[in-house]
């Protein structure tokens, strides 16, 4: 009986060793393949398969290890997903902050502070060009007015000169008339004096 037990143990060890070697040569097997291999290697009894308890325990250990590995893998994946979600949220916050900074930068580039008021550069450009055009119009009107006034002053100077010439001519003529009248008056006086002298001599 003891020799029979030793015989079965030796057969089991040889079977397990050969199974391990075949797995190492062929690579890892799936649970379905290992289950099929276990059923195929087991002995048959009528319509049943006789599977050794040690083989079942070994397979169950593999199953529980696989389940544990899957649970660990799922847990690791959940942790990875949480970390990635956290990173995505942080990236979203960074993107939002960058978009806000970009909007502020665009607003700063598009706006300008003039006289303590913030206005768009387009409005500022329109205002500046409006002021420039207004100044050009004022200068043009002022220049035109100056030219007109200059022409008016020249005309006034000419008129004044003509008036002065006419006045001088009038003074000259008046003086000549005055001299002529004085001469005539002196002649008349002389004539009257002669008449008096004649009358007195008679």
How big is the CA angle at 26 (ends 25 and 32), to the nearest 5 degrees?
140
> Could you give the dihedral angle defined by the CA atoms of residues 65, 66, 67 and 70, in that order, rounded to the nearest 10 degrees?
120
Beta strand 48-50 with 43-45 is antiparallel
Instruction: Tell me the pTM.
Output: 0.37
Task: Tell me how crowded residue 120 is: count the other CB atoms within 10 A of its CB.
Answer: 12
Instruction: Choose among 49, 60, 67, 58: nearest CA to 15.
Output: 58
Output the tens digit of pLDDT for each of the chain's 202 residues: 444 444 444 344 434 444 544 444 455 677 778 777 777 777 777 777 777 778 777 778 888 888 888 899 999 999 999 999 999 999 999 999 999 988 888 777 777 766 667 677 777 788 889 999 999 999 999 999 999 888 889 888 888 888 988 889 998 999 999 999 989 899 988 888 888 888 877 6
Joined tokens for residue 165: 């010439």
Contact status, residue 34 vs residue 58, Cβ threshold 8 Å: no
**Quick one: DSSP state of residue 47?**
T
């Amino acid at each position: 009986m003891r020799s029979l037990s030793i015989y079965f143990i030796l057969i089991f060890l040889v079977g397990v060793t050969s199974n391990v070697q075949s797995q190492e040569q062929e690579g890892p097997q799936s649970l379905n393949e290992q289950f099929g291999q276990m059923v195929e290697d087991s002995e048959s009894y009528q319509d049943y398969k006789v599977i050794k308890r040690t083989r079942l325990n070994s397979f169950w250990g593999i199953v529980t290890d696989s389940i544990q590995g899957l649970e660990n893998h799922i847990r690791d994946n959940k942790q990875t997903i949480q970390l990635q979600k956290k990173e995505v949220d942080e990236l979203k916050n960074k993107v939002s902050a960058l978009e806000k900074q970009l909007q502020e930068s665009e607003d700063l580039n598009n706006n300008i502070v003039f006289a303590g008021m913030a206005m768009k550069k387009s409005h500022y450009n329109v205002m500046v060009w409006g002021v420039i055009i207004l100044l050009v119009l004022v200068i043009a009107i002022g220049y035109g007015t100056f030219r007109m006034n200059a022409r008016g002053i020249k005309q006034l100077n000419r008129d004044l000169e003509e008036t002065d010439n006419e006045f001088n001519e009038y003074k000259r003529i008046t003086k000549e008339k005055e001299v002529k009248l004085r001469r005539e008056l002196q002649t008349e006086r002389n004539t009257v004096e002669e008449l008096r002298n004649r009358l007195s001599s008679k």
